[in-house]
Amino acid sequence: MEETILRTEYSEVMEQSYIDYAMSVIVARALPDVRDGLKPVQRRTLYDMSELKIRPDGPYRKCARIVGDTMGKYHPHGDSSIYDALVVMAQDFKKGLPMVDGHGNFGSIEGDSAAAMRYTEARLAKVTQEAFLADLDKDVVDFMPNFDETEKEPVVLPVKIPNILINGAEGIAVGMATSIPPHNVGEVIDGLKAYMQDPTLSTRQLMKYVKGPDFPTGGIVCNKDDLKEIYETGVGKIKLRGKVDVEKGKNGHVNIVISEIPYTMIGTGISKFLMDVAALAETKKTNDIVDITNQSGKEGIRIVIECKRDTDTEQFINMLYKKTKLEDTFGVNMLAVASGRPETLSLDQIFKHCADFQFEVATRKYTNLLAKEQEKREVEEGLIKACNLIDLIIEILRGSTDRAMAKKCLVEGITDGIRFKSKESKLMAQQLMFTERQANAILEMRLYKLIGLEINALLKEHEETVANIYRYEDILSSRSSMTQVLIEELDGIKKAYGQKRKTEITNAEEAVYVEKKAEEIDVYFMMDRFGYARLIDVPTYERNKETADEESKFLFKLKSQAKVCIFTASGQMHTIKVEDVPLGKFRDKGVPIDNISNYKSEEDVIIYACSQSEVNLYRLIFVTKNSFCKIVDGGEFDVSKRTVAATKLNDGDEVISVNALNDATSVVLKSKDGYFLRFAVDEIPTMKKTAAGVKGMNLSAKDEIDEVFYIQNAVESIYEYGERQIELQKLKLNHRAAKGTKVRG
């Protein structure tokens, strides 16, 4: 066969491929369908559990079995995504109406993950069986082939309630994301009932029923007035607060008790909140905190912050709202798959899609039920007629040679080949006109059906069948009748599964917190050779002066509201807020510099540390191992950035000395080969921090500067070099860029 080469534009192929991929992720993975409020993985998991008959009234089954079966039949995208979906559907702190009944460790509100699927068990929740899967056997939704066309799966589940609002949804697709908050079951059902009765209701009218989100964690929605716009556009931000109470504590202390948290704090957010509160005390943002305890348990959330007796509780609570996640925002984007495409929906549009779906499902359901009842009536009428002609029927059966002959007589009145006792019987047989279905039922009828009580039961059953037919025909012919039936079903679900609202909806005032400026005091900054920093107050330093001077690599006095500048061998300057350094006892270990700055100890070496005020007051001298030196005005380092380049370095070079020049008049450079060069500070030019500097000593090949000394007039400076003691101030005063003097140790 001759090959044909199809030429096409590469960009067009990529564009089409990306669009196909994006739509696959959007529709088939990440976004829920507005009709049942389920993502494909959730829908497939619930359907598989139904097929496996893991019902609410049956035993639990291993989650590993459920996950494996779902992955093998319907969702070939990895077991972790299926198990994660299964776990979330069982968590009552995430779902307003959990769809799975979990047995075992399914995680906690504090962020503990679920146990492995081989340890946990699950079964369908009762509400799922009754409101999500009940009518699947009545051909109420379409089915489609699974990924390998060996099974059939439902396109959508016949969910009887607006699950997309009740349980909410979260998902990230390609170029879009959905975030729908959970709502109260009873309110949503009331809203759907109202919309079914009057489809002209607007979003604002529907909000008489749906007051706002109802999060499983409770809390307070603070921006009630914004909800109208959010529900009309499908997009917005909900401001959430935790519920805080004030109680009397021990020893006259005041307890700030958090009993409900914002929905966004679920998981690691609780431990982060506790750390943030502790940080407020450590950084002296507040001095009111005595203790923090997390007393949460099966009864619910209970976080207790013990405060001093004279604490301004209102100010303290406002500080928690401002400085922690106790007040947070929930971003709303009510995006869902509607009519096969992603669409941002308003509240009334969601109710429209859900109501239309309910009517569609009900129409298919009662059409199928009507057809079955009509078939049943046909059979029952045939059997009743046969009972009245039972003697003739028996005569036909006894006179026929085979089933086909008897059936032909019952349906068409053909009596050829049948032996009758009399001509009258034959004439009566020729007038029979049973239907095919009736004839089959007569031929399969058992003799005990001729008992009087059985005949009476058949007549009563026929009456019920006729009544059902009239009822189904009325439902299908009248929208009001169908609406009434759907409302009765919704009332039953509400009665069985309705809950009291947990989240309070209000217009709360903006939390006003005026941060008190911490009292500025004199402290000593201490950093040891391992890079641990701490602060001590002046009296503590004076009591331990000798030990502090001996153990500290850097030690200097500064104000508690100042900044510390750290210069490194790579030519970087890192700044640290003094308030980030813990103030403690003399023997406290302190905090690693890495934790409070951008400095990384494994990548760089600290050469010099001083206060920001010292940098601003003096000029700084830089010396590198390749003997480049310069002086930089301290004002160049007065920057807001946490990290800046303090000097320019040539390849292979590094800073070995940084110092503030105050009274120094000369500089002594010492090389590894034992050369000493002393020259006046004035010979070093003042340059920008972006400059590399000028040569300080003329070095021989492979030699480099390893030590720098700063000499003051009339101040003795002794350096022990080998077995010799060198008086540095008596070295010959030379000029910069000279070779220097060789000194033997």
Q: What is the pLDDT of residue 516?
A: 64
Share of the chain above pLDDT 70, in %: 97
Q: What is the pLDDT of residue 705?
A: 92
pLDDT, tens digit, for every residue of 637-656? 888 888 999 999 999 899 99
Is 1 part of a structural domain of the chain?
Answer: no
What CATH number should be reported for the domain holding residue 48?
3.90.199.10
Q: What is the secondary structure of 229-280 as a DSSP string?
A: HHHHHSEEEEEEE-EEEEEE-GGG-EEEEEEE--GGGTTHHHHHHHHHHHHH
Q: What is the pLDDT of residue 602?
A: 85
641, 608 contact by CB (below 8 A): no
- How far apart CA 505 and CA 507 sit, in angstroms, is 7
Q: What is the pLDDT of residue 730?
A: 85
Domain shared by 318 and 384, yes or no: no
Tell me the C-alpha to C-alpha distance, in Å, between residue 114 and each of 103, 106, 291, 637: 11, 4, 30, 51
Q: Give the start-end residues of each E strand in 134-234.
A: 143-145, 152-154, 169-172, 177-180, 220-221
User: Which residue from 413, 412, 379, 419 is spatially nearest to 397, judged by alpha carbons?
Assistant: 419
Last residue of one domain, picked from the residues 131, 158, 185 = 158
Domain shared by 531 and 478, yes or no: no
336, 180 contact by CB (below 8 A): yes
| Residue 216, helix vs strand vs coil | coil
Task: Judge whether residue 34 has pLDDT over 90.
Answer: yes
Domain shared by 484 and 552, yes or no: no
Domain shared by 477 and 540, yes or no: no
Is 513 part of a structural domain of the chain?
Answer: no
Establish whether 119 is a catalytic residue. Answer: yes
Last residue of one domain, picked from the residues 109, 124, 158 = 158
Domain shared by 675 and 529, yes or no: yes
- DSSP annotation of 618 reads S
Lowest mean pLDDT among 132-141, 165-174, 278-287, 567-576: 278-287
What CATH number should be reported for the domain holding residue 305?
3.30.1360.40
pLDDT, tens digit, for every residue of 189-230? 999 999 999 999 999 999 999 999 999 999 999 999 999 999
Is 233 part of a structural domain of the chain?
Answer: no
Is 55 part of a structural domain of the chain?
Answer: yes
Tell me how many domains the chain contains.
4
599, 669 contact by CB (below 8 A): no
Q: What is the pLDDT of residue 333?
A: 95
160, 358 contact by CB (below 8 A): yes
Long-range pairs, 234-238, Cβ under 8 A, ≥24: 234/332, 234/333, 234/334, 234/335, 234/344, 234/345, 234/346, 234/349, 235/332, 235/333, 235/334, 235/344, 236/332, 237/329, 237/330, 237/331, 237/332, 238/181, 238/212, 238/213, 238/329, 238/330, 238/332
CA angle 303, 307, 312 (to 5 degrees): 115
Q: What is the pLDDT of residue 571?
A: 92
> One of 10, 21, 83, 119 is an active-site residue; which one?
119
Q: Which residues contact 186 (CB under 8 A, 6 or more apart)?
A: 494, 498, 499
Domain shared by 661 and 615, yes or no: yes
To the nearest 10 degrees (0 to 180), the angle between helices 403-412 and 436-444 is 130
To the nearest 10 degrees (0 to 180), the angle between helices 479-497 and 347-388 is 110
362: number of Cβ within 10 Å: 21
Task: Judge whether residue 1 has pLDDT over 60.
Answer: no
Radius of gyration of the chain (CA): 42
Task: Judge whether residue 240 has pLDDT over 90.
Answer: yes
User: Which residue from 614, 496, 515, 499 is spatially nearest to 562, judged by alpha carbons?
Assistant: 614
Q: What is the pLDDT of residue 396?
A: 85
User: Where is pLDDT greater, at 334 or 392?
Assistant: 334
Helices in 134-200 by DSSP H: which ranges? 163-166, 185-197
- DSSP annotation of 6 reads P
Last residue of one domain, picked from the residues 125, 158, 191 = 158
pLDDT, tens digit, for every residue of 140-177? 999 999 999 999 999 999 999 999 999 999 988 777 88
Lowest mean pLDDT among 3-7, 18-22, 415-419: 18-22
- How far apart CA 646 and CA 660 sit, in angstroms, is 14
Domain shared by 79 and 146, yes or no: yes
Q: Which residue has the tokens 């075992």?
A: 104
Q: Is 146 left (phi over 0), alpha (psi -120 to 50) or beta?
A: beta
Is 439 part of a structural domain of the chain?
Answer: yes
Q: Which residue has the tokens 């009428």?
A: 381
What's the pTM value of the predicted model, to 2 decimals? 0.73
Domain shared by 258 and 382, yes or no: no
Is 644 part of a structural domain of the chain?
Answer: yes
3-state secondary structure 641-652: CCEEECCCCCCC
- How far apart CA 695 and CA 705 sit, in angstroms, is 11
Domain shared by 462 and 529, yes or no: no
Q: What is the pLDDT of residue 574?
A: 93
What CATH number should be reported for the domain holding residue 376?
1.10.268.10
- How far apart CA 563 and CA 597 sit, in angstroms, is 12
Q: What domain range is 673 assigned to?
A: 522-742
Is 582 part of a structural domain of the chain?
Answer: yes
Q: What is the pLDDT of residue 28?
A: 65
- DSSP annotation of 692 reads -
- How far apart CA 113 and CA 88 sit, in angstroms, is 11
Tell me the C-alpha to C-alpha distance, in Å, between residue 644 and each of 621, 656, 659, 665, 689: 17, 18, 17, 29, 10
Is 209 part of a structural domain of the chain?
Answer: no
Domain shared by 73 and 114, yes or no: yes
- How far apart CA 629 and CA 693 sit, in angstroms, is 5
Q: What is the pLDDT of residue 455?
A: 78
pLDDT band for position 483 (cuts 50, 70, 90): very high
Task: Judge whether residue 101 has pLDDT over 60.
Answer: yes
Q: What is the secondary structure of 458-477 as a DSSP string?
A: HHHHHHHHHHHHHHHHHHHH
Domain shared by 475 and 549, yes or no: no
pLDDT band for position 425 (cuts 50, 70, 90): confident
Q: What is the pLDDT of residue 143?
A: 94
Per the structure block, which two tokens stand in for 312? Answer: 């301004």
Mean pLDDT of all residues belonging to the chain: 90
pLDDT band for position 515 (cuts 50, 70, 90): low
Domain shared by 466 and 544, yes or no: no
Task: Judge whether residue 134 has pLDDT over 60.
Answer: yes
User: Which residue from 498, 499, 500, 496 is spatially nearest to 126, judged by alpha carbons?
Assistant: 496
Mean per-residue pLDDT for 434-448?
A: 84
pLDDT, tens digit, for every residue of 313-353? 999 999 999 989 999 999 999 999 998 889 999 999 999 99
Q: Which residue has the tokens 């600290």?
A: 606
Q: What is the pLDDT of residue 358?
A: 95
Length of the chain measured in residues: 745
668, 715 contact by CB (below 8 A): no
pLDDT band for position 744 (cuts 50, 70, 90): confident
- How far apart CA 581 and CA 533 sit, in angstroms, is 7
